[in-house]
Structure formats: structure tokens, C-alpha cells
Chain A
Amino acid sequence: MTIPVSITVNGRRYDREVEPRLLLVHFIRDVLGLTGTKVGCDTSQCGSCTILLDGVSAKACTCLAVQADGASVTTIEGLAGDSELHPLQESFWNKHGLQCGYCTPGMILASHELLRCNADPSAEEIRHGLEGNMCRCTGYQNIVRAVRDAAETMQGGTS
């Protein structure tokens, strides 16, 4: 059995027939071929699959594609929009906020949510805000620096 869905991803509408059990993350990766969104676990712990669902962060492994019918999704590929890089991407690069890069798309989108809710977070607030995203490489310290740096840039009005 398949069900029709219409999901807008990074500004483009996709009309597809999907199995009801298909996870949104598999819809994004396998059906649309947008592989920037990663799968790191099967228990919704790691946060690698974090995307924006109607502007709010969500773990795309905890959502069925059919639940996203009619919704608008932003993945890492679409975060910068018309710019070359979003300030968060720029800050992760500048502050060495990534090593292997696998957690990075989810980490950046979770950071996006953090800054949406708190535009000027302290280091401690950033650490709390990102506790749902796992990184095994960086020890988180440079991720915290990156988010802090992006907050300053974004408050400065450059984006």
C-alpha cells in the first residue's frame, strides 16, 4: 500500500507515493536523494538526522514521511538558501567545529533551533541545548565555540 504525499524540501515541492512506514529521513535520503541528512542510530538518540520541519528542528528518524505531508522541510543542503553559507556553517568551519563531519548537518540544524529559541546563549546554554546531538570526534568544545560565534554574527545583523 502506498499513500500520496506532497512535501516541500528546500523550497521545492515533491509529490510522491510512499509506504506508510517510510521514515521522513529515508524519504529525504532514499526517495529524494538528498544525502546530506545522516542516519546515525535507530533510537532517536544521536541527532544526526536533525532537519527543520516547518522551521522547527525535528529528528527525521522519529517522523514518518506521511506525517510530513504538506509540510516544508529544510535540510543541510537548503540551509544557506541563496547565500553561499549560513552563518552557522561559516562558524563551524571557522571554529573547527567538526572533524569527520557525520554529525555536522544535524548539529548545525540543532544549533539553528537553539539560536531560534535563544539568540544569545551562554556556553552552558549551548551545551544544554545540544545534549540531544552526539559527536564522537570533537568533544563538543569547538561546536560550542562555533555556535557562540554564529550567535554573535547573526546578532550583528549579517544574516
Chain B
Amino acid sequence: MSASTFGSGIRRREDPRLITGSASYTDDITLPGTLHAALLRSPYAHARINGIDTSQAASAQGVVAVYIGADTEGEIAPSPCAWLLPDSGLTIADYHCVARDTVRYVGDIVAVVVAETRHEAYDALDLIEVDYDPLDAVVEPKKAAADGAPQLHAEIAGNQAFHWTVTGGGDIDEAFSQADVVVKETIIQQRLIPNAMEPRATLASYTAATGELTVWNTTQNPHILRFLSSLVIGVPEDRLRVIAPEVGGGFGSKIAAYPADFITMFCSKKLGAPVKWVESRSENYQATTHGRDHVQEIELAATADGKIKGLRATVWAGMGAYLSTAAPGIPTILHGLMLSGVYDIPAIHEDVYGLYTNTTPVEAYRGAGRPEATFMVERLVDLLAAKLGLDPAEVRRRNFIPKFDDGHDVVTGLTYDSGNYDGALSKLLAEADYQQLRAEQAEARKNGRYIGLGLSTYVEICGLGPSQVAGAIGFQGGLWESAIVRFHPSGKVHVMIGASPHGQGEETTFAQIIAGELGVSPDDVKVIHGDTDNTPMGWGTYGSRTTAVGGAALALAARKIRDKAKVIAAHLLEAAVEDMDYDDGKFFVKGSPDSSKTIQDIALMANVAWNMPEGVEAGLEATTFYDPPNFVFPYGAHLAVVEVDAESGNVELKRYVAVDDCGPQINPVIVEGQVHGGIVQGIGQALWEEGVYDDDGQLLTGTMLDYALPRADRLPDIEVHSTVTPSPHHPLGVKGIGEAGTIASTAAVYNAVIDALAPLGVEAVNMPLTPERVWRSIQAAQGRN
């Protein structure tokens, strides 16, 4: 049972509490005497505040306190940006948690009411009078960069948050001037709204007598929140305890430390009572971070036989009104460095302009920079194929980086760990029966039906990452992970990790790692995470790093245990350590398997410590801090098959076939679940989802009624396959899988739709590919507009 548990699709141990309603998410926790905070948010995208009258609200029933910006001066520092992108002219506008004299997006916080009940707090919001002077707003990043655009921050010229470049390989201008063919496109990577099903929430409880603040929060990274909160609220880190209880999805939107979190902590500290704030879904749309929002001008240079010679791009990335916690690194490091994709590209240059706009701050959203990079590269390759009259699979093959298993340098400066891109594509084409699909497509076209095939071959960077690199790229933290493995006298195991999973199932997969390393049943392992008071420091769950980094820390801690246990076993069996063997939870003298001790025997002996070897400490416990030597680079090949109804513009997704390679799979059922969910989010971007602001900065997609999330009835079953290429530098060989689907699927679906529309002369349609947009593009291409 035990060793073979690594790699088997066992049921998740998280599930019993989740399927019975016994799990406690932040909003499910209430302490005696809990007060409730509600936030008054700006209805204007850009306005001066002339005055605020809170007198009526303050005297309303149940109201305990009302605060405006001036009340928080010196008490709540500006919400910090913690990715200080170097060599980019980064300018960080002060993000006051409660606005002082100006509001800069619909949702900017203007006042706070704390009351005895949630209803009373919301009732009192209506009694606050704010005198605004509306100002002109700008919502699109490229427009924000233009001369004469409304300016968000007086101290920041041209709304420019940063200008970052990546240049690598040969002379890019020469690559283009000498190219046989050049293909170009302008792409709008529309704004997406993450929509974790659980809205964000904070419960803060301050005890004046001890100076201790305990915070329950819907965070992906409680240790980072503790660190930043100590800086912003002034409660020392040792007195601050952050607990991420059950967290209902994040997808990047629960990485940031938010003004609302700091405000809730401030209120509890001020009032000496527990204070809870829970956002409504409408508030979530306005004020929880968004994703993507790029305007991309891209071009590719190639030879007449389809060999890529250079890639050049300019990107205008909307950052929103302020820089969120990790925001500057997303459209730059996690985007621009991945522009070589799975291809050998000898010259790459990209300029990225980060722009302040009167919109909700933009942050990581599943894939975070990498879907935007993959989309660019995969579009260009398809455009090249179309221009040369080659099959898109063939153009990819002519440019793939050849198979490698221990490092490959690309010109953007990264070293990919391992990959066999042609292998993944070949498997995909075989599984999908690509040639047959092409034949069916040709047949359908004869009959006036528009079927399209779309490929996306991707590689992504995850398992963030070496801390030295983190420092070099301005990330204001480390990126290692730690794990503690502790054997109790009865042989049961506690694992404490710094990472903070919130749906990915690591309570199960990490127990499987321990089972594989130490031969115990996964049922005997409890994985503890999410509480800064009883877990070691960790940098959080995002960037597909929990298994890739935290899992490595855990495996190495288990191996330390094994080493110590072997010494104890040798002592108990009166053998030399070098004469000991280990197999599946048993230590035995070489050649005498009957002369053995189980790991449970050793755990008992180490804990009672009646008979320990000379110089060996009591206890069976190990801690590791694992700082990875490199990132990991999962990859794969996806195919979407669509049919477009030319009369209505409706796109039907008929098939979706995926081949992903995340190295050895600890639990293939959980991997498959991650792949399903990731792919569907990427399909959502291609076909349905878009966060829309009008020119005045009003969010038009402010509820689930207006923002089209993927629904069960609009999706086919996804066909999931995999190949296995271990990472050469990871102790278990594993790579991340949380974001891969999203990184691949948007381009696959988009390419399929454009392929379907090719006979109608349509070359590009802005996402999402709604029936209206597709229909209009057909009309335009047919000269009927």
C-alpha cells in the first residue's frame, strides 16, 4: 500500500469536511462580540473628494464607529507593492487604504462603517454623504499612455508605472530586415475577473492586553500577509498570527494584501473587538484584483521555409489605478521571459509599458503573464503557417527546441529544465487523429460547414523559484519553501508546511509524498498548513509552486528522517549503519530481511529515547528549507476543435484534447482535475469572459449576470493525456500543473476559431469570441458591414 501510494489516484482527504458542510471558511468563523465592517466605495472612476459627512451614519442604530481617510493617517500605511521591478523606471503611486482626497477607480474605498450587525453596517453606508468632483478617466492602457490622457497621479508623468524590456539573442532589427516573411498582429488580451467562488473576507481580533492580533483571511499566502500587515498596521510580526482557514479558490486574486484587509485589522485594533469584513460578489468584481488587460503589437520574422528568425513585441499592460502586491512582475518577468515558447528563436525583443488606468488593480490571474505570452507566440506561429500555406503542426515542428533532459538556454536568459515538445505534439496528433480531423474539416467546408482545428504547444515557467533570482528581479521576498515532518510515538505523522493550498489537494498529495518516502500509510499523515503560528515560514501557493517547491522541501525532510532512522535502526539491531538497507518503511541488515525495524518502531524508540545511539538526539523530526536551483518548465500540446455557425456567429467547442507533461504525477486524478479546471478558465477567456469598463470608468460587467463565466452546459468533455519528463533538478522530478491548462487553452480555442473562419476571409477577431463579434467579423470580411 505505502510506497505504491505515490502515483496512485487515491481519494482526497480534504473532501469529507467539504462535502458535509463541516469546513470553516473565513466567513464561517465568528467570535463572541464580533462587529461587522462595511466599506463605502467610490461610484466614480476618478474624482476629487471635497468633503465627507459621516454624522448621520455615526449616530445610526448599531453603528460603533465610522472612519474616513483622515482617521487612518499614521495608523494604516499605504498598501504596499512588493515587486520592485528593477531597471524599469518603476514608479509606485501611494495606495491609501482609505482614499484621502482623490478616488481613482470605481471601488476605491472612501469610508468604513463598523456596526453590531452586517445589516446595520450596510444601512449606515447609505447615510454617508460624499461631495465628489468627477474628473476625466482613462481605462485602456494604450490610451493612458497617449499625450493628453487624463493623469491619475500628479507625481507620475504619462501614467507610466514602468517601462521594461527584454532583449536577447541576435540583432532583432537585422532579423526582421533580412526576413523572407514577416507576420504581424495586434491582440487585445482582455481584462478578466478571477471569480474565485468564495468572496474575499477578513476577521481580525486584537487583544490590547497582549498586543496580539489574530487574522483569519481568504489568502493564498498567510506568511506574506503577516509580513506585510506588520509593516502596514504596525503590529510586530511576532504578535501577528494569520490564519488561512478553508479558502475557496484564489486563482491569483487572493495573493495580494488588500486595503480592506488592513482596514479590518485597523478597526479591530482601534475598537478592541473582533471585526469581520466580507465582500459581496459585486464588491468582488469592483475591488478584488483583475487579470490580463494587455494591448499587444507583435511580429515574427521567418525564412521562406518557415524557420523563425526573430520575435518583436510592444505591450501596453493596464495595471489599474494602483500597483497591487505582485503586479509589476506579472506582465514582465512572467511574460516577456517566456516569449521563446517551445521554439528555437534566435532573436527576441519586447517592450512592456505598465500603465495606470482608472480601473481595478490588475494582478496575477491563473497563468499570470504566461497565457499572454503563449497566446502571442502561438498566434504568430499560426499566422506564419497561414502565410506560408503550411500546416500549423508542421511549422511548429520546424521550430521546436529539440528534446533535452538537462537544461536548454533560450535567448531571454532562462534555462528550461527538460522537455520533449515534438513528443507531446506527436502524441496529441495521434490521440486526436489529426489527419482524420483535417480530412473531415475539408469535407465539411465543401458542405458549407466551418470546422476549425487549433493547436497550442506551450511551455511555462513555474515552481517560483530560486530566491537569489527573486532578489535579482525585485521580488520583495524569498521563494523557498519549508517543511517539518514530525513522527509521534505511535508512528503517526504531522507535516507542517509553509505553503497554503486552497483547493489543489496537497493535504492528500503531500501525504502521498511521505508515504512514498517513508513507507507509512497516507492515512497516518496529517498535513497542516495555513496558520502562521504553527507552520514554518513559506512564501505561499501561487505560480504552480506548492508541489514544485514545497513538495521538494517535504521529500528532503522525509529523507533526513530516513537517514536518522537508519542510524537508530542500526544501533537497535547492533549493526553498522553502512550495513543497513531500507525498503518501504523497513530498515534491515543487508542480507537479513528478518532482522528489521519498521519506521514506526524507530519513531517510538526515538520519542521515548531509552536507547539511542551515542550523540543522536531524541525525537524523529526534520525540517528543511528548500530553495530550488531553477524554475520548472511543464509543457504540452493542446488541440481544440470548433464549429462556427456562420449565420449566427456561434462557436461550438466540439472537442478538446490535451497532452500535458508535469513530470511524474503524485496523484493522477488530482492532476487531471487541475488540467480540467485550468483549460476551462482559458476557454472562458477565448469565448466568453471580459471585464468591461465604459469610457467613464464604470464597470459594466459588475455582477455574475453580466460577466460570462463558463457553465457546465457549454463545455465538452476534455480528453486528457500526458507524457512524463522528469525535471532534472527536482528531488521527485515533478513540475507544476495548476496553471498549465489555462496557459495553453486560450490560444488553442482562438486558433481553432480563426482556422474555421479562414474560408470566409476572417483573419482576426477580438476576444472573447462571442457570437456577435464573430458574426460581425464575418460580415466585415464578406464586405457586408
Binding site for B on A (CB under 8 A): 19, 21, 29-30, 34-43, 45-46, 48, 75-77, 80, 85, 89, 92-94, 96, 98-105, 108, 123-124, 126-128, 130-131, 133-144
Interface residues of B in 174-207 (CB under 8 A from A): 194-199
Contacts of B669 in A (CB 8 A): 96
Query: B709 — which chain A residues lie within 8 A by C-beta?
Result: 134, 136
| Distance between Cα atoms of A38 and B119 in the complex (Å) | 18
Contact of A131 among B16, B17, B23, B712 (CB under 8 A): B712
16 pairs, CB–CB < 8 Å, chain A vs chain B? A21-B119, A34-B21, A40-B198, A45-B703, A77-B21, A93-B11, A100-B249, A101-B15, A101-B23, A108-B19, A127-B713, A134-B195, A137-B197, A137-B673, A139-B681, A139-B715
**9 smallest A-B Cβ distances: which pairs?**
A36-B21, A100-B503, A101-B18, A102-B248, A139-B680, A45-B704, A76-B21, A139-B676, A35-B28
Q: Is the CB of B712 within 8 A of A127?
A: yes
- Known contacts A30-B118, A43-B704, A137-B249; can you find 18 more A-B pairs with CB under 8 A? A40-B199, A41-B281, A41-B703, A42-B281, A43-B703, A85-B19, A89-B19, A92-B15, A94-B11, A96-B672, A102-B248, A102-B249, A134-B709, A136-B196, A136-B249, A138-B673, A139-B677, A144-B712
A46 to B195, CA, bound (A): 10
B677/A136 in contact, CB under 8 A: yes
In Å, the complex CA distance between A135 and B459 comes to 27
User: Chain B residues near A135 (CB, 8 Å)?
Assistant: 197, 712
A41 to B288, CA, bound (A): 14
B520 in the interface (beta carbon within 8 A): no
A99 to B508, CA, bound (A): 12
B704 touches A101 (CB 8 A): no
A134 contact set on B, CB distance < 8 A: 195, 197, 704, 709, 711
A141 touches B717 (CB 8 A): yes
Partner of B14, one of A19, A101, A108, A137: A101
Q: Are B676 and A138 in contact (CB under 8 A)?
A: yes
What B residues does A19 contact at CB under 8 A?
A: 119
Q: B307-329 vs A: 1/0 string, CB under 8 Å?
A: 00000000000000000000000
Contacts of B505 in A (CB 8 A): 99
Instruction: Say whether, besides A42-B280, A131-B713, A93 and B197 are in contact (CB < 8 Å).
Output: no
- Which residues of B are at the interface with A, using a C-beta cutoff of 8 A? 9, 11-12, 14-25, 27-28, 118-119, 194-199, 246-249, 251, 280-282, 502-505, 669-670, 672-673, 676-681, 703-705, 709-713, 715, 717-718
Query: Is there an interface contact between B24 and A35, defined as CB atoms closer than 8 Å?
Result: yes
A104 to B199, CA, bound (A): 15
A93 and B679 within 8 A (CB): no
Q: Is there an interface contact between B249 and A96, defined as CB atoms closer than 8 Å?
A: no
Contacts of B248 in A (CB 8 A): 38, 100-102
Bound-state CA distance A124–B198 (Å) is 27
Least CB separation from B284: chain A residue: A41
Beyond A42-B281, A141-B718, whether A93 also contacts B502 by CB under 8 A is no
With a CB–CB cut-off of 8 A, which chain A residues contact B22? 36, 77
* Interface SS, B side: loop
Interface pair A100/B502, CB less than 8 Å apart: yes
Q: Which of B19, B198, B680, B715 contacts A100 (CB 8 A)?
A: B198
| A104-B18 contact given A35-B24, A96-B12, A127-B715, CB 8 Å threshold | yes
- CB-CB < 8 A to B504: which residues of A? 99
Contacts of A85 in B (CB 8 A): 16, 19-20
- Asked whether A75 lies within 8 Å of B21 as measured between CB atoms, the reply is yes
Please tell me if the beta carbons of B282 and A93 are within 8 angstroms of each other in the complex: no
CB neighbours of B251 from chain A (8 A): 136
Q: Contact between B197 and A100 (Cβ–Cβ < 8 Å)?
A: yes
CA distance A76 to B248 in the complex (A): 17
Q: Is the CB of A102 within 8 A of B704?
A: no
8 Å CB contact of B197 from A21, A102, A128, A141? A102
A124 to B163, CA, bound (A): 49
| Residue contact A139 to B718, C-beta cutoff 8 Å | yes
Q: How far is the CB of B246 from chain A (nearest CB, A)?
A: 7
B712 near A126 (CB under 8 angstroms)?
yes
- Cβ contact within 8 Å between A140 and B715: yes
Q: Closest CB of chain B to A60's CB: distance in Å?
A: 13
* A99 lies within 8 A of B673 (CB): yes
Residue from the list A30, A46, A126, A127 in contact with B704, Cβ < 8 A: A46
**Chain A residues in 8 Å Cβ range of B11:** 93-94, 96
- The answer for the CA separation of A126 and B251 in the assembled complex, in Å, is 26
Take A42-B703, A101-B14 as given contacts and tell me if A128 and B673 are in contact as well, using a CB distance cutoff of 8 Å. no
- Select one of A42, A101, A127 contacting B503, CB under 8 A: A101
Cβ contacts under 8 Å, B249 to chain A: 99-100, 102, 136-137
Which residues of B are found within 8 Å of A80, using beta-carbon distances? 20
Q: What's the minimum C-beta distance from A28 to chain B, rounded to whole angstroms?
A: 10
A101–B281 CA distance with the chains assembled, in angstroms: 17
Smallest beta-carbon distance B216→chain A, Å = 13
In the complex, how many angstroms separate the beta carbon of B98 from the nearest chain A beta carbon? 23
On whether A46 and B281 interact (CB within 8 A), knowing A104-B19, A136-B197, A144-B712, the answer reads: yes
Query: Is there contact, CB below 8 Å, between A143 and B281?
Result: no
A21 CB to nearest B CB, Å: 8
**Which of A43, A92, A100, A123 interacts with B281 by CB under 8 Å?**
A43
**Beta-carbon contact of A96 and B670 below 8 Å:** yes
Complex Cα spacing A98 to B681, Å:
16
A103→B199 CA distance, assembly (Å): 12
Distance in Å: Cβ of A157 to nearest Cβ of chain B: 22
Q: When the two chains form their complex, are residues A128 and B718 in contact, meaning their CB atoms are under 8 A apart?
A: no
CB distance from A115 to the nearest CB of B (A): 15
- Chain A residue contacts of B195, Cβ below 8 A: 134, 136
CA distance A37 to B20 in the complex (A): 10
Q: Closest approach, in angstroms, between the C-beta of A158 and any C-beta of chain B?
A: 17
Please state if B197 and A40 are interface contacts (CB–CB under 8 Å). yes
Which of A75, A127, A144 counts the most chain B CB atoms within 10 A? Answer: A127
Q: Which residues from chain B contact A96 at a C-beta distance below 8 Å?
A: 9, 11-12, 669-670, 672-673
CB of B498, distance to nearest CB on chain A (Å): 20
Q: How distant is A142 from chain B, measured CB to nearest CB, in Å?
A: 6
- Whole-angstrom distance between the Cβ of B477 and the nearest chain A Cβ: 24
Min distance, Cβ B174 to any Cβ of chain A, angstroms: 45
Q: How far is the CB of A102 from chain B (nearest CB, A)?
A: 3
- On whether the beta carbons of A41 and B20 are closer than 8 Å, the reply is no
Interchain CA distance A108-B681 in the complex, whole Å: 22
- Interface pair B676/A38, CB less than 8 Å apart: no
Task: List residues of chain A with CB within 8 A of the CB of B710.
Answer: 139-140
